[in-house]
Structure 1
């Protein structure tokens, strides 16, 4: 029994090493400049192993950017706290998940990354916005506005590292952005 588990453990360890190296390489070099050879070198394996597990650079990228935002249950919090809860949640995600930072970097320069970013936000923020409005078109606008705030802050704070944005405390970021996100989600449409 131990022998049958050993190859599986090596396989899992190899996949984990590839994904870790790919996240770092895509984040540092972007999609276009990252190569399977460089990723394999960073993972300490032969490039054929990357192809074996992921089929192609595109397949590897898709695995790297598999993102679940795991949004909080807004039904369990007072409506007037929605903006603050969402901003706090997104700060947690950006600070603790390098995949989102990689996706943002790549999404800014690569259509596949941008498409995946759109899918993530449409699939996960749109349903949240739909809870507060009557029409889907209104929900889509609101979700896009929320994304503009969340992605804008993520870009200047975690990717471009603009001093004023990186110097702000978490509490300040929430205090500044929460009212805007709150309005986008719950206010009457203009």
Structure 2
């Protein structure tokens, strides 16, 4: 790995941690640079601005399963399980969700993330119709609401519910939003 690649990777790693700990508003480029053990000018060199650094740090592949390989009656449960797995392993989506509550750049990034990764799931299930986009948006409301309550706001008893309980409660709602069935 080249030195520039290592520096860029160190900056992104430090930015993810700092945005997670401090939020977008309180995270400073100086603190991120200190965490990455680099000069703050390097952040400007590689990313240009705090907003562009945030967008780069918040890049996230939801790694959703191919809906054509899921039994139709298990789509909702399988997707909720996939989201839970992703959130429990990687806090990037949590950082993005926190920031999108107050930052327009994060809001647009979140919209793009779901438009490019969840809408295609609905399209694969329903065909490329306006209803597919609406259904994906409604499923997103359930999924993002779950993430907000469980991982960001830490609402009880949602935090203490088992993975199986969450899937049993939220899976049918996502199933209904995507396919009109439960």
TM bucket (normalised to shorter chain) is: over 0.9
Looking at structure 2, the residues matched to 134 and 14 of structure 1 have their Cα atoms a distance apart, in angstroms, of 43
Question: Please, which of 135, 140, 144 is the counterpart of residue 133 of structure 2?
Answer: 140
Question: Please, which of 23, 29, 32 is the counterpart of residue 30 of structure 1?
Answer: 23
Who is 2:60 aligned against?
67
Residues 154-184 of structure 1 show CA distances to partners (whole Å, capped at 9, x for unaligned) of: 1111111112111000011001111111111
Paired residues of 1:30 and 1:109 also in contact (CA < 8 A): no
Paired residues of 2:77 and 2:168 also in contact (CA < 8 A): yes
Who is 1:184 aligned against?
177
User: Is 2:161 aligned against 1:150?
Assistant: no
**Structure 2: gaps spanning 5 or more residues:** none
Looking at structure 2, the residues matched to 27 and 136 of structure 1 have their Cα atoms a distance apart, in angstroms, of 37
Map 1:82-161 onto structure 2 (within 5 A).
82-133=75-126, 136-161=129-154
Runs of 4+ in 1 over 4 A off after TM superposition: none
Q: CA deviation at 1:28?
A: 2.5
Paired residues of 1:94 and 1:101 also in contact (CA < 8 A): yes
Looking at structure 2, the residues matched to 44 and 131 of structure 1 have their Cα atoms a distance apart, in angstroms, of 45
Q: CA deviation at 1:135?
A: 6.0
Number of residues of Structure 1 aligned to a counterpart in Structure 2? 181
Looking at structure 2, the residues matched to 43 and 71 of structure 1 have their Cα atoms a distance apart, in angstroms, of 31
**Structure 1: gaps spanning 5 or more residues:** none
- TM-score, length basis structure 2: 0.93
Greater alpha carbon shift after TM alignment, 173-182 vs 46-55: 46-55
Paired residues of 1:22 and 1:39 also in contact (CA < 8 A): yes
Greater alpha carbon shift after TM alignment, 11-20 vs 163-172: 11-20
Q: CA deviation at 1:86?
A: 0.3
- TM-score, length basis structure 1: 0.89
